[in-house]
Structure 1
Amino acid sequence: MRIAYLHAGSIPSVYANGIHVMRMCDAFADAGHDITLYALPGTQPADDPHAYYGVRHRFPIRGVPAPDYTPAGYWARAARVRALLLRDTAPDLLYGRDPYSLALASDIAPFVYETHQLWGDTYPTRVERRLLARPTLARVVVITHALARDFRQAHDRSARLPLLVEPDCADVPDHQPASPAPDLPGRPGVPRIGYVGHLYPGRGIDLILDLADRLPGLDFHLVGGTHEDRVRWEEPCRLPNVYFHGHRPPGVVPAYFPLFDVVLAPYQEKVYAAGGLGETSRWASPMKLFEYLAHGRAVVASDLPVLREVLQDRVNCLLCPPADRAAWVAALTELCADGALRRALGDEGRRQVVERYTWRERAERVLAALDRPATV
């Protein structure tokens, strides 16, 4: 099948949406489809976007700029995307997270709209409603059951929407390009506690620093974050057992996971996206969480209702109330002292990813679901 993936973000970039989009395009290609990605031009220096993201397949990437980042600018860009689609070989299916381009190109082919949040009372919501009324709409893909419920309630035609819930995923390590292991600083023989992800508000960075202060016998490594966010957290930090590694290309991040004894997912009750835009804790399906599990790491995560769609306390992780710092101290202390428990949690998490949460399987499910009734 010829698939055109329409993305309203930049490729390459430092943002998680770019990782998700590239992983899905890679999975479509791995399943034998002819995939072309239409995205905004990159905002992160990278000579080779495919190597930057560590994907296995080299599919075409079309950079389509917007004259400005206003509704008028996005519509103008959507017109450019539509013209490219007509100039290139016509796709059999449109797929993407760009409501403007999907709406304008919906007469070219059937389309699947994927969304990871509700827009609220904003202009994109009006675009989304226009999109959902298109007769060529084949599927709406959301990442959690919580989002599916809220999405149905938010849209007038919700009872008839063909919704499919597909969580985020991970590639199992055996299927990833080999990257050299980084040389981590720290004390020999001291347990390494890892966090991988952005440093936005609500990601629990203050909790991690408090844990480092309370547990001086452990070394804490934070991988990720924009330069500005890293400076904001690192400059005032005086703890000798905390190491900020900054942003790393997604293609080399998997080399960090095996170096950590325990990994943290300390999401708070309110979690914000880039620039503080969009509070997403109610609907989140964090990619890094699945990557933790795929690498067989022992995870300590926040006990949030949406994360319980995937996580089970003392089955594939330890869950702690986000604000109960004593519980986090106890969980880390227990895992660092109990190697058998670390291995059991890690093995079960990896097994679940292999059986249910790989990008290839996700790609096959979102396409297979096009010819059968959706279930939520």
Structure 2
Amino acid sequence: MKPGRRPEIWYVSRTRIDAESAQAMQVNDMLAALHHHPGLTLKATVAVRKDLPVNITDFAVSSIRSSLLGKTFYIYFAFRFVCQILASTSPQAIVYSRDILNVFFALLFGLRAVYEMHQPLRSKASRVLFRLSIKIWPHKFKVVVISGPLSAYLENEFMCPGEKILVAHDGVDINWYECAKAKSSVSYLREQEQIPKDIKIIMHTGSIYKGGIGAVLDVLSRYPQFWFVHIGGTKEDCSILQQKAQLSGLSNISVFPQKAKDTIPAYHAQSDFLIYIIGQQSGLSRYTSPLKLFEYMVSGQPVIYASTSSVDEVITPDFGYDFIPDDIGSLNAVFEKVLSTPTEGRKKAAASYDHVSQQYTWHHRVSRICDMIKNWET
């Protein structure tokens, strides 16, 4: 890229950004961080079901509204995006997308493109498109991945050169988190659930992925000193979790379905510990960069976390209490430790906050991506 020229990023997402999913939240956070970065110009093509969120209406954005679902919408969105490319007056724009099909079309019509990858390529079509992109347009194609194991996957499975890949974990907007915690008025859980003051609250928020939760419930059932609080998922998900707790013999438990995103920080503040759970058999365990982990780490509460190759890139025992996923003995050791060393948790929580604020905010992530693009030679 020519010195002094501001790169123009064309962010393309078929994720409906007016949804409440984790993917929609990540896209919104990325758009906000890109928009406020002083070193680039941003425009976007995004999917919505109804209306654009207020926070992204102050830059050049084109919304594609549709009630179509699944592959039908995927194809419809790609077609609309191609029409926008053909009508575009920005030949120097760099397309940035989590969708390999949109990246492929951008390359096909002469634009440079960055593919943001969150998990291995599952379908045969997506693998073919990725291989073609590397082979046909080696100088116009780059990849951003959310963890080191994903980078290794691309290098091993697709012979993708390491210099084409940037590892950039997800992050957190600390200003938003702290403002939401201060402004939100949520019910006081101890009073609502009649939790005694001498009982420690271990809280989990968000989805519960396949695996991992059973071992946690089994071990917690042996510790009357703890009360487990889960917030997230549908009513059906919560009912299943309650049934699992009963089978594990755990009675000290409160389960709530999904609550508004801006109330979660205030709930975090009511916990004594926050726990990140994932099973070894989960397809996400090797590659994930979970949004809630970054929020946990700036909450001010000690974090108990399932140790996996990708998670360990972000958090270490200096910043939390690690356990082996699905390992009852490892979990027992952690719960014994947090009970016997109460002051250690606060030290870890303070160190965790500093660590994330210096490396894992959305601003830090976008700055690294922008540096990669500025140094991109065509």
Alpha-carbon distance between aligned partners in 1 of 2:15 and 2:176, rounded to the nearest angstrom: 29
Aligned residues: 356
1:261 counterpart residue number? 272
2:4 counterpart residue number? none
* Gap change, CA 1:89 and 1:254, over 3 Å in 2: farther
1:363 counterpart residue number? 366
1:259 is paired with a residue whose SS is coil
TM-aligned CA deviation for residue 335 of structure 1: 1.9
Q: Equivalent residues in 2 for 1:1-376 (5 A)?
A: 1-32=7-38, 33-42=40-49, 49-50=53-54, 59=59, 60=61, 62-65=63-66, 67=68, 69-70=70-71, 74-85=74-85, 90=90, 92-106=93-107, 107=109, 109-120=111-122, 122-132=124-134, 133-134=136-137, 137-156=140-159, 158-159=160-161, 162-173=164-175, 176-178=178-180, 179-183=183-187, 184=189, 185-186=192-193, 187-189=195-197, 190-202=199-211, 204-235=212-243, 237-238=245-246, 239-271=250-282, 279-313=283-317, 315-372=318-375
RMSD of aligned residue pairs (Cα, Å):
2.9
2:221 is paired with a residue whose SS is helix
Kept after mapping to 2: 8 A contact 1:265/1:301: yes
1:275 counterpart residue number? none
Kept after mapping to 2: 8 A contact 1:117/1:283: yes
1:251 is paired with a residue whose SS is helix
TM-score by length of 1: 0.84
1:192 is paired with a residue whose SS is strand
Alpha-carbon distance between aligned partners in 2 of 1:209 and 1:175, rounded to the nearest angstrom: 28
Kept after mapping to 2: 8 A contact 1:198/1:226: no
Alpha-carbon distance between aligned partners in 2 of 1:188 and 1:366, rounded to the nearest angstrom: 48
| Paired AA for residue 69 in structure 1 | G
* Gap change, CA 1:16 and 1:293, over 3 Å in 2: same
| Paired AA for residue 240 in structure 2 | R
| Paired AA for residue 260 in structure 2 | P
Alpha-carbon distance between aligned partners in 1 of 2:316 and 2:88, rounded to the nearest angstrom: 46
Alpha-carbon distance between aligned partners in 2 of 1:155 and 1:49, rounded to the nearest angstrom: 37
Q: Which has the larger radius of gyration?
A: 2
Q: 1:286-340 CA distances to partner (integer Å, 9 max, x unpaired)?
A: 1111111122321111222222222222x11111122322332332343245332
Alpha-carbon distance between aligned partners in 2 of 1:215 and 1:146, rounded to the nearest angstrom: 35
Q: Which runs of 5+ in 2 are unaligned?
A: 1-6
Q: Compare 354-363 and 183-192 and name the one that shifted more.
A: 183-192
Q: Which has the higher helix share?
A: 2
Q: Compare 361-370 and 241-250 and name the one that shifted more.
A: 241-250
| Paired AA for residue 79 in structure 2 | A
TM-aligned CA deviation for residue 180 of structure 1: 1.2
Q: Which runs of 5+ in 1 are unaligned?
A: 272-278
1:276 counterpart residue number? none
2:172 is paired with a residue whose SS is coil
Kept after mapping to 1: 8 A contact 2:155/2:162: no
Kept after mapping to 1: 8 A contact 2:97/2:114: yes
TM-score by length of 2: 0.83
